[in-house]
Amino acid sequence: MPQRYFIWFSYDGTRYHGWQVQPNGNSVQAELEKALATLLRTPVLTTGAGRTDAGVHATTMVAHFDSEASFDCAQLTYKLNRLLPRDVAVRRIAPVSNDMHARFSAVARTYYYYIHTAKDPFCRNYSCEMHYDLDFEAMNRAAAVLLHTDDFASFCKSHADVKTTLCRVTKAQWERVGEQQWRFVITANRFLRNMVRAVVGTLVDVGRGRISVEEFCRIVESRQRTSAGESMPGHALYLVDVRYPFDSDNAEQLPQPQHFFFK
């Protein structure tokens, strides 16, 4: 019987059409499966903890795969990193019970969205440059509404193939991480397609004074994507954590990759 493995990895999404295999462009999943197949000498199918869109990054992504091959996890990690492109890095591989699922067993996911408010050549590819006077206190008052929201249809990509738009958000706040740099932190049990970028775009409308906190509440209650703000660019969005039931017991906590962004 095949053994199931979890694989933790990170990637710079700039060159990719997202995590998931695409018919019209390269993906992180395609690169990972190609490298695994080369080393294990058999086709390998992976299932990710979720999907990230074109240009979106991950400092922690998780996938699972099944294999009948016998291998040392540390050695496979080393060999994968020699074979994979420089913008994809495997951090750990571990056997798990066969009923564990990278997507459906996850209990929480966390994203960061970065913005900077002054021209910075070192941020341009990894943060969204904005030159508006933003009221972050108002943006945080609006973000707090998300903690008491069940239905996020207002922030779901139109015509998305989802059975439910219900999510449970447990953290949503703006944090200052530099003199002219901020990040939005959001944690939930699940995320809808385009949800984080739509939430950030609508919160920016609050910060610019285009809508009030009360109007933000009405947008949430409307459950209409057309009521919310525009989606923000993908290059400033990062999946930074995926949590499983075993994480609180004995799982090794992986350090975040070193990056000038992550304070």
Alpha-carbon gap, residue 179 to 15, rounded angstroms: 29
β-strand partners of 243: 108
Q: Hey, what's the torsion of the CAs at 131, 133, 134, 135, to 10 degrees?
A: 170
Give the pair of three-digit tokens for residue 262.
């992550």
Give me the phi and psi of 114, to 5 degrees please: -105, 140
Residue 155 token pair: 């922030």
Is 53 among the residues known to form the active site? yes
Torsions phi, psi for 88 (to 5 deg): -130, 130
Give the CA distances from residue 227 to residues 30, 33, 159, 200, in Å, rounded to whole numbers and listed in that order.
36, 39, 15, 14
**Coil, strand, or helix at residue 42?**
coil
Asked whether the beta carbons of 223 and 165 are under 8 A apart, the reply is: yes
CA distances from 11 to 6, 193, 195, 199 (A): 16, 19, 20, 23
Cα distance between residue 70 and residue 22, in whole Å: 30
Return the exposure string of 94-129: e unless at least 16 CB atoms fall within 10 Å of the residue's CB, then b: eebeeebebeebbebbbbbbbbbbeeeeebeebbbe
* Residues designated as active site: 53
